[in-house]
Structure 1
Amino acid sequence: MTWRETAPSRESPGGSTLATRLTGIDAARGAALLGMMATHLVPTFGPAPEWAPTWVGLTFSGRSSALFAVLAGIGLALSTGKQEPRQGSGLWAARRGVALRALVIAVVGLMLGGLDVNIAIILVHYAVLFLCVLPFLGLRLKALCAWAAGWVLAAPVLAYLVRPLLLEANPPLQLGHNPGTDDLETPGKLLADLFFTGYYPVFQWMAYLLIGLVIGRLALTTVRVQWLLVGAGTAAAVGAKLAGTAAMESFGGRAALEALPQTRGYPLESMLQVNLTGLQQTGSWWWLATASPHAGTTLDLLHTSGVAAAVTGVFLLLGRVAERLKVNFLVVLSGPGAMTLTLYTAHVWVVSGFAGNPLPAGWTDEGMYWAQALAAVSIGACFALLRRRGPLEWLAHQASRLGSYRPAAVG
């Protein structure tokens, strides 16, 4: 789940060669990891009957996972030519490497899907996104901008039209759980869930990777671009959220949705602020006017992508400051951000050990989160200081190298 730039390499103390990296990108990925962990461990809604949003729900829900996906697109752009995408045999080699990396991530995700855990695991969806974005890796900036804009506008509408057909099938083409190896026996249902009816619908989430590719094709090492990401991202995020709030509260959207049978009994006002997962979002075009987390609408995609762009710009600027001061204070985030596949997997496995069981005496949800966050930061920083890849990152890297291998020309 990490990327490595094709820049001049340096030798680690142990003799392994690691490529240089943009520390700010890794730090942003580390922040996304910690944010996702917070939504997994700390309640995003308060107690019944109000179900008021908590600060974790208002801050991280929908945004951390979207940041994760946008950063995936940035990483793919950086590893396939940066501002000038690879072409010809080099591009095909890069695509093969990405495909095999995606295979490793998918296998890990399917194995985690067999755990009893109350977490929507993103890895299988993440791997499928990698495969779906392969045709776009050779596009230049202008073409990517057009595709990203079109996807943000059209994908939510098409998904809104297709989703009811899948949910009305008998049985419904929706898993209702994390994808696991058993679901490979029903590929139609699995694919429908991955692309349209699941927690991270790939069809809409492709927008995040395309936007990430756009950002990654920019000159990210320049101050002008870094500030552009902060300014444009903030404007897009604020504008989309204001538009969604106005549609729901000022123009009657929420009242229309509350009248639907599927929303009766749900605290829709709270769900619109935190998470629409669990609602099928069918029966009214007003669903497309929300900017709610995990809505998958145009406004949601714009808001969360804007947040991702702004956060990326901020961490790139902080990376510049750290470089000038010659003090790598970002290592507390860039360390775990460089080995998110390993740490995310360990996090899910640890949480599964408490499924259905009370927390140890004296522990709270917040305490469990801070303990895991501290462990992730400590492990990540140690690996970064030793210039070592995480175990699963090493495996994914080897798969990528195998896929992108090109025999040397003879003669």
Structure 2
Amino acid sequence: MATETTRPDSPSNAQRTSARGRLTGIDMARGAALLTMMATHLLPVISPDATGHPEPTWIGLVISGRAAALFAVLAGVSLSLGRVPAAENRLGLALRAAVIAAVGLSLGSLNVDISIILVDYGALFLCAIPVLKLGQRALGALAVLWILLAPLAAYGLRTVLRDGSRPLRLGHNPAWLDLMDPARFAADIAATGIYPVIVWFGYILAGLWIGRLPLRRLGVQIGLLAGGVAAAVLAKCTEWVLLGPLGGRDALLATPQARDGQLDALLRADLSEVDQTGSVWWLLTAAPHSGTTLDLVHTCGTSAAVLAGFLLVARIRVIDRTRVLLPLAGAGGMTLTLYTGHVAEIAWSQKAGSEFDGGGLLAAHVLVALAAGLVFRLNGWRGPLERVTHAAYQLAAELRAPHA
């Protein structure tokens, strides 16, 4: 899922920066997103307390929702990278998106018990193509409007598409066989699935806007960190007012979705499996994977803060010289390969019916990812699947070169 690690040398790109100073921090952030997504796959987000009452774990409270959002925001940032700018190689971007989606459909065919983001990720790249040439202000305005309005549109679509005798929702990861039912497949990807593109495109727009900033500047990095933290805190404070003093939580706990007794914990940890219909209060939470405006504001804020934090870390000379975070940056440069291997190994373990310790398996996956990242980065190699996506992107660039 990572892209080229060379900043485009294009006259239209006003923010020319050194690749090393900027992209190491971006790759570290991408590596952190990968490892934290692994944690959400292998460790529970909700667990019973001493009395048997379901409560969010630290994974649910700290990582759930934020890791996947960071991945998506960085996807938007990555569109400003590469020897051939994405805005000038739209066919290449479409081919890259097709490769990523094909990998996702193949993984979905394994029936693994985790939510796979790759098909939606590929669809998000396709959706980005029409807006790549927008200016900074236009992107910012569109991002704000999208974050405000897209959750409303998705709520209305979910209500319509999930009703009736034939709900247009897959209920599982998209797979190749699902293409035989294009209406349900398209509805799931767009609005009714775990990662609805209508909502998640807001992350791409936010990432594109961030990617246009002069990110090598210290002041920009500090501003991005402060702004991200402020946005994240503001969203959660607003949620507290709406769900607490104004009665939103009580209203949601009175819905049919609360009958199993877990909704209070899910509101703090993960709403992805909850059918958020029947009450407008669903639109006013900032719960992980709720896809609301407050959720988008909060997770865009945390994503911006994490990215800024790694960009600041990359400036520290002792860290730069000792290259202690090179394994993390290396893993961030080959996330498609590592994510695919991670999901495939979980699928194999589940199919074998073997019981495994989630913490131990997570440690193994993290160590393998960091070791592979270090080896590939030291040797200047691309990951195997990154080579495929790069080849597709470059093929399109070469095809259009004679006509440039």
Q: TM-score range by the shorter chain?
A: over 0.9
The two structures, once aligned, show a CA RMSD in angstroms of 1.9
Paired with 1:211 and 1:365, the residues of 2 have a C-alpha distance of 33
Maintained 8 Å contact 2:334/2:386: yes
Paired with 1:294 and 1:101, the residues of 2 have a C-alpha distance of 26
Paired with 2:96 and 2:253, the residues of 1 have a C-alpha distance of 43
1:205 corresponds, among 185, 190, 200, to 200
In 2 relative to 1, CA 266–197 (structure 1 residues): closer, same or farther, beyond 3 Å?
farther
2:4 corresponds to which residue?
4
2:315 corresponds to which residue?
320
Aligned AA for 1:51?
P
**Number of residue equivalences:** 391
2:331 corresponds to which residue?
336
SS at match of 1:46: strand
User: 2:27 matched to 1:26?
Assistant: yes
What is the CA distance between 1:200 and its match in structure 2? 0.4
Q: TM-score, normalised by structure 1?
A: 0.91
1:215 corresponds, among 186, 205, 210, to 210
2:127 corresponds to which residue?
132
1:14 corresponds to which residue?
none
1:250 corresponds to which residue?
245
1:407 corresponds, among 397, 401, 404, to 401
1:234 corresponds to which residue?
229
1:378 corresponds, among 354, 359, 371, to 371
Which range is displaced more, 177-186 or 39-48?
A: 39-48
Paired with 1:356 and 1:245, the residues of 2 have a C-alpha distance of 42
1:41 corresponds to which residue?
42
Q: TM-score, normalised by structure 2?
A: 0.93
Aligned AA for 2:186?
L
Paired with 2:145 and 2:83, the residues of 1 have a C-alpha distance of 23
**Structure 2 portions without partners, runs of 5+:** 10-18
User: 2:79 matched to 1:76?
Assistant: yes
Maintained 8 Å contact 1:156/1:297: yes
Paired with 1:383 and 1:80, the residues of 2 have a C-alpha distance of 20
In 2 relative to 1, CA 198–142 (structure 1 residues): closer, same or farther, beyond 3 Å?
same
Aligned AA for 1:398?
A
Maintained 8 Å contact 1:80/1:94: no
SS at match of 1:404: helix
What is the CA distance between 1:6 and its match in structure 2? 4.3
Paired with 2:43 and 2:394, the residues of 1 have a C-alpha distance of 38
**Structure 1 portions without partners, runs of 5+:** 10-18
2:386 corresponds to which residue?
393
What is the CA distance between 1:5 and its match in structure 2? 4.5
2:55 corresponds, among 49, 52, 55, to 52
2:70 corresponds to which residue?
67
Which range is displaced more, 321-330 or 308-317?
A: 321-330
Question: CA-to-partner distance for each residue in 1:225-278, whole Å, 9 max, x for gaps?
Answer: 111110000000011011112211221101101111222223222101100122
What is the CA distance between 1:327 and its match in structure 2? 2.4
SS at match of 1:107: helix
1:367 corresponds to which residue?
360
Maintained 8 Å contact 1:78/1:217: no
Paired with 2:138 and 2:170, the residues of 1 have a C-alpha distance of 35
Paired with 2:106 and 2:94, the residues of 1 have a C-alpha distance of 18
Percent of residue pairs bearing the same amino acid type: 48
In 2 relative to 1, CA 30–322 (structure 1 residues): closer, same or farther, beyond 3 Å?
farther
Maintained 8 Å contact 1:23/1:330: no
Paired with 2:307 and 2:262, the residues of 1 have a C-alpha distance of 33
What is the CA distance between 1:117 and its match in structure 2? 1.1
Map 1:171-190 to 2 at 5 A: 171-190=166-185
Aligned AA for 2:2?
T
Paired with 2:3 and 2:291, the residues of 1 have a C-alpha distance of 26
Aligned AA for 1:367?
G
